[in-house]
Structures are given as structure tokens and as C-alpha cells.
A and B are shown apart, each in its own frame.
Chain A
């Protein structure tokens, strides 16, 4: 059975590596950005928010095409030599996940009562301690942002196929393997790979839900 073969483990491992790295980077950028967008008042906030929200609807295949053009020999990032590598897939998936993580974080932080920031300041919190308190209160929503970002990039196929190339043992992930097996008519195998994909998403969400109940320092 291919499903239990070494190749399968390599596909699963690469899927987790690429998706995990992309989500990690998106969270690192998107959570502070979403928090800032929620708390700051500045000219152009509406426009920037609208742009970020629009980014949630970015078609992966278009993102893949743009990243392909950036990384191709005549592109401005050709010097990186990332085309058809996992790094290119991570870059594309970051672009896909970032607006989602930012938008959901922004919504979660906005849902925290306005007065909380002032109230913790009045109890002696410095500016960063106050923002941390707001983030703690918004943590359930932020975990949803992480889960949504993970789900989106784990299941996308367009960008991974275009910039990764679906090279066996190098850039083949679960979604691109499903496309390949479907094209070959191996529907049972494709469905089995789909099962693995869903299982990974379920596992991440169960861990995320478990963390929601844990107190943070």
C-alpha cells in the first residue's frame, strides 16, 4: 500500500513542514499587524482594513502565478533560486495565509471591550503589558485565526503546484499528490490522501481547542 509507504510519510512530513512554516511566519506578522489595526486610530485605516479583508479572497492560483513570476529567471527575485523548492511554496502560502490571520486577529481584538485597555493601564500596566492583556483576552479568536490559516494553506493546491512543481521527494505535498493520483485515475488512493489531509487538519484544530482552555501566563 502506497498510503503506508515511505513516500507517503515524506509527503505528509513535507506538507506539515511547508504549511507549519508558512503559518508560523503568518502568525508572527499577522497577529501584531491585526492587533495594531484593531487598536490604532489613523488616517487610511478603513482603506487598509478593506485591503486586508480583500486579501482573504486571494485565489491561490493567482498567488502562485505572481510568486512564479517573481522567482522565475527573469523575475526580480530570481537570485534566490527558490523556484520549485519548498521555500517558494512557503512564500506563496504566507501570502495566502497572512490576510486571513490578520483579519481574524483584528476581529478578535476588536471584540475585546474598549475599556479593557484603559482599565489595565489604570491598574499599572505599561503600554506593552496592556496590549498583552488585550491579546490574552482575544486568544480564543487568535487561535481561530491560526486554525483558519493552517486549514487554508494545508488544503490549497494551486500555488503549491505552480511554484513547487510537484516534484517527487522534493516538493510533493498532500494536495499536489491528490491531483496527480486523480489524473492517473487512482481515485481510491487520492481519496486516502484526502483522508490524511483532513486528519491533519482535525489534529491541529483539536490541539488548538485544547489550548483555548489553558490559562496563559
Chain B
């Protein structure tokens, strides 16, 4: 049985100031999978996630999300609200941790006092910080709040841009467990950008390797780590990457 794709990218290019930073000939993201995007700093991982979130438009080519073409001005808000992106450097709104976590619910007109908010705060060990001002949070706490405000929305697609970059090992494990639970229980499609190969190996169903804006290889996690096809993938895995 062929798997159903949720995203389909075809000849997708993104340029800034005339310089292409991402050029992908083709990529499919399947419904309900956990795809890790790995690659060195500056490979185009964050750009790819912004395109998948529909908050930026490709310069050329197309990105299909279900039956909708992302990137045009007339993408319905209901479509975009099925996708949530957690940024690498989150910016929180003024107010408390709780008001930030409730923000997306407020936009959707849902009950902000939902028990689900407390559940998410608890699962990320943020309950004690719920009434604290976001101006007084550490980098790691900020990252957890950004993740909480995304998870509370129960999105169909969760895009994560280095969500554990500022966290200590215990919190990294907590986040990985939480996302794995959400992925399993809610059948959430997760695209997770990371430069941490150990993390990709732990969490991914499939892995995509980006290098200088180009997609080098996409394979199941097992194949990617144990028998990579492209020589550059092998070099990256061995820590010999030259770029």
C-alpha cells in the first residue's frame, strides 16, 4: 500500500536578496510520520520549516499541503491553523507563561481555561512558572514555553526548529518523551530540524539530510544511519563533513 503524503514539494526554491538558500527538487512528508531534517548550520533547515509552515512563500516551485498550495496569499487561515511551527529562537509575548500558552487558543476562540493548558504545562514541568512574567525566563524556559504554546493547539503538523538547543540533558529527554507521546497518541506529523545526530537517531522515522540548501538524501532512520547511499551523508555522519 502506498503511503499518503501530507506535503509534496516540487522544484521548490527560496531566495533572499536574489541568493538561493534552499533548492529542493522533490520531497514528500507522509501523514503521521516523524521526519528529522539534519544538516550543518546554514544548510537551510529553518528556511524549509518556514516554507512548510506557510509563513513564508517559496520564490519558485510549489509546496502542496494536502490539497492546498502553500505560499499564496489566499491560503485559508483554517488550513494554516492545522500547522504549528516552534522557532529556534522563540519570541514570547508580554504577559505570563500561562497567557502565552493560551494565546493560540485565544486566537481560535477556544476556552482559554481549558484543562489541557494545565496538562501541557505539567507535562513540560512548567506548572510552577505559570504565573511568572515571560520577561524573567531563562533561554531554556523560553524554549519550553514556546513548545507548550504549540502543543496546546494539538496541531495536525508540528514543525520543530532545534527545540532542544538551549536545554540541559534532563530537559532534552523530557521534550523528546513529550513529543514522542504527542506523535504517537495524536498521530501528529512531526518535522524536526536538528543538527544533533544522536537525537535524530533516537526519534526519527525518516531522516532528510540538507547541505548548502540542497537535499542530499532522504531515507528511513535505519538506512540513513547504517547504510547511507551518498558519500556526503557518510562524511557528515562520521563528523568529517567539509562545508
A interface list, Cβ under 8 A from B: 113, 115-116, 118-126, 129, 133, 136-137, 215
Interface string of B75-108 (1 = CB under 8 A from A): 0010011011101011101110001000110011
The interface-forming segment of B8-16, B34-42, B49-57, B176-184 is: B49-57
The answer to whether B107 touches A122 (Cβ under 8 A) is no
The reply to whether B55 and A118 form a contact with Cβ atoms under 8 Å apart is: yes
Residue of A116, A122, A136, A215 near B85 (CB, 8 A) is: A122
Consensus secondary structure, chain B interface: mixed
CB contacts (< 8 Å) of A215 on chain B: these are 94-95, 99
Q: How many residues of chain B have a CB within 8 Å of chain A? A: 26
| A119 and B103 contacting across the interface, CB-CB below 8 Å | no
Q: Which residues of A contact B50 (CB under 8 A)?
A: 118
A123 touches B89 (CB 8 A): no
Name the one of A115, A121, A133 contacting B93, with C-beta atoms under 8 angstroms.
A133
Q: How far is the CA of A133 from the CA of B89 in the complex (A)?
A: 18
Output the least CB separation between B150 and chain A (Å): 7
Residues of B within 8 A of A116 (CB): 91, 93
**Are B87 and A123 closer than 8 Å at their CB atoms?**
no
Interface membership of B63, Cβ < 8 A: no
- Which listed residue, B94, B99, B149, touches A123 by the CB 8 Å rule? B149
Residue from B80, B91, B153 within 8 A of A115 (CB atoms): B91
A57, chain B: closest CB distance, angstroms: 32
Inter-subunit contact A119/B84 (CB<8 Å): no
Beta-carbon contact of B56 and A124 below 8 Å? no
B contact residues around A115 at 8 Å (CB): 87, 89, 91
Contacts of A133 in B (CB 8 A): 93
Please give me the residue from chain B that is nearest to A133 by CB atom.
Answer: B93
Q: Is the interface of A mostly helix, strand, loop or mixed?
A: helix
Inter-chain contact A122/B53, CB cutoff 8 Å: yes
Q: Which residues of A contact B90 (CB under 8 A)?
A: 119
Report B-chain residues with C-beta under 8 Å of the C-beta of A119: 85, 87, 90-91
Q: What residues of A have a CB within 8 angstroms of the CB of B159 in the complex?
A: 122
A123 to B91, Cβ gap below 8 A?
Answer: no
| Cβ distance B97 to chain A, nearest Cβ, rounded Å | 14
CA gap between A122 and B89 in the complex, in Å:
14
In the complex, what's the smallest C-beta–C-beta distance from B162 to chain A, in angstroms? 14
Q: Of B94, B104, B108, which is within 8 A of A136 by CB?
A: B94
12 contacts between A and B (CB under 8 A): A115-B89, A119-B85, A119-B91, A120-B103, A122-B85, A122-B87, A124-B81, A124-B108, A124-B153, A137-B93, A137-B94, A215-B94
CB contacts (< 8 Å) of B81 on chain A: these are 124
Q: Nearest Cβ distance between residue B132 and chain A, in whole angstroms?
A: 14
Closest chain A CB from B103 CB (angstroms): 6
The interface residues of chain A lying within 8 Å CB-to-CB of B89 are 115
B55 with A121: CB separation less than 8 A:
yes
Cβ-defined contact, B91 with A122, below 8 A: no
Contact of B150 among A123, A129, A137 (CB under 8 A): A123
CB proximity of B84 to chain A, nearest CB, Å: 6
One of B87, B91, B95, B107 near A125 (C-beta < 8 A): B107
Question: CA of A115 to CA of B49 in the docked complex: distance in angstroms?
Answer: 14
Q: Which residue of A lies closest to B146 (CB)?
A: A119
Is the CB–CB distance between B104 and A124 below 8 Å? yes
Q: Bound state CA distance, A124 and B152, in angstroms?
A: 12
B residues near A121, Cβ cutoff 8 Å: 55, 80
Q: Are A113 and B91 in contact (CB under 8 A)?
A: yes
Name the A residues within 8 Å of B104 (CB-CB).
123-124
Report Cα–Cα, A205/B108, bound state, in Å. Answer: 36
Known: A115-B89, A136-B94, A215-B95. Contact between A122 and B56, CB under 8 A? Answer: no
B145 to chain A, nearest CB (A): 12
Question: A124: which B residues are within 8 A, CB to CB?
Answer: 77, 80-81, 84, 104, 107-108, 153
